[in-house]
Each structure stands twice: as C-alpha cells, then as structure tokens.
Amino acid sequence: MTDAVPQKRPAYEPPGRLLSPTGYDPQMRRPATIVAGVVLVLLRVIAGAILLLAVAVGWDELVKDAGATLEGFDPSPEGRTAALGVVLATGVAVLVADVLLAFFVLLGRNAARVIVMIFSTLSIASSFVAWWVQGQEITLQGTFLSLSLDILILLALSSRSAAAYARRRERR
C-alpha cells in the first residue's frame, strides 16, 4: 500500500509553464470556478439593479443636491424626467449585457470570460482612481460591495481551471 503525497504547487511558477496551452478536451466538465464566477456576476447584476432602484426612488433629492448638475438637460420637471430615463436606460443596458456575458461564460466562451475580467479590472481601477484623485471614500454602502465582487470575479475567472474550460475546444 503506497500513500501518494500530494504535490504542492510552488509559490512562483515560470511564465513558460503558466502560458503553456491547455489540452484539447471538448468533454471537460464545468469547473466550480466558472460557476462561482457566473454567480458573482449575477450578484453584481442584482447589486446594480438595487442601485438603479435607489437612484430612481431618490432622483428628486439627488437632482436638488447643490453639487448635482445635469449638463445638457433643462432643469424643468420634464428635463429631470428625461435625465432619469437616460440614466435608467443606460443602467439597464449595462445590466442586460452583464447577464448575457454571464450566460456565455457559463457556456464556456473564452471571449465573454475575458470581457468580464476586463470590465472588472476597469471597475477596480476606476474605484482606485476615484479614491486617489477625488478622495472618494470606499464605504460599505457605496463602492465596497462592487469592489469586492469585482475582485472575486477576477479571482474566479482567471483561475487555471476556468481558462482551461473556456479554451477546451481550441486545437493547438
């Protein structure tokens, strides 16, 4: 009876090994990292929907704020309603695109996985720039939830198993 000792992965791996192609395996089972990434993207969609609902409910107070300006819209009630419509339509379009990307990631499309990771990276970078340049606080009610979801999405979808699943049909 031999006890196999599990091999520990080194803390540092040469780039050649990390960039080595994955094997061609169209029958590969969906790894947990893909499912976790999709669930996190859907949680980001839910958080965005809640944010849009909060903006719609508090729109009048938001517009009356001294620091708020609606450039390009007239200050009349019709103009404020039109501005709210533009904000909500843009937000809903982004959320629908996020749901579609999550669906394609679940199907194993590498382009969708990369696009989701790029958007997460841009979101993280914009939070950092807003903190660094504008002094915007990272609060639990504000950017902390979206920032943490974006970091977790990056961790899940950039894993080896997620990359191997998304590239399982590529012949090399």
13 assigned to some structural domain: no
Q: Can you say whether residue 155 is alpha, beta or left, with left for phi > 0 and alpha for psi between -120 and 50 degrees?
A: alpha
Confidence category of residue 10, pLDDT binned at 50, 70, 90 = low
68 vs 157: CA distance, rounded Å:
37
**Total domain count for the chain?**
1
What is the per-residue pLDDT for 146? 86
> pLDDT tens digits for 41-69?
999 999 999 989 988 998 888 777 755 66
Could you list the residue range(s) of the whole structural domain that residue 35 is in?
Answer: 30-166
Confidence category of residue 144, pLDDT binned at 50, 70, 90 = confident
Mean pLDDT of the chain: 83
Which residue, among 172, 54, 48, has the nearest Cα to 102 in the 3D structure?
A: 48
171 assigned to some structural domain: no
Mean pLDDT within 27-39: 91
Mean pLDDT within 28-33: 89
73 vs 90: CA distance, rounded Å:
16
SS3 letters for 54-82? Answer: HHHHCHHHHHHCCCCCCCCCCCCHHHHHH
62 assigned to some structural domain: yes
117 assigned to some structural domain: yes
Please classify residue 116 by burial: count the beta carbons closer than 10 Å to its beta carbon, then call 0-12 exposed, 13-18 middle and 19+ buried: buried
| pLDDT, greater one: 35 or 15 | 35
27 vs 116: CA distance, rounded Å:
24
145 assigned to some structural domain: yes
| pLDDT, greater one: 30 or 25 | 30
Mean pLDDT within 77-103: 90
82 vs 88: CA distance, rounded Å:
10
Look-up of token digits 């404020």: 80
65 assigned to some structural domain: yes
- Residue 137 pLDDT exceeds 90: no
Residue 168 has, within 13 A of its CA and on its CB side, a CA count of 17
**Cβ-based neighbours of 9, under 8 Å, separated by 6 or more:** none
Helix, strand or coil, per DSSP, at residue 115 = helix
104 vs 111: CA distance, rounded Å:
9
Confidence category of residue 133, pLDDT binned at 50, 70, 90 = confident
16 assigned to some structural domain: no
58 assigned to some structural domain: yes
Q: What is the pTM of this model?
A: 0.79
161 vs 163: CA distance, rounded Å:
5
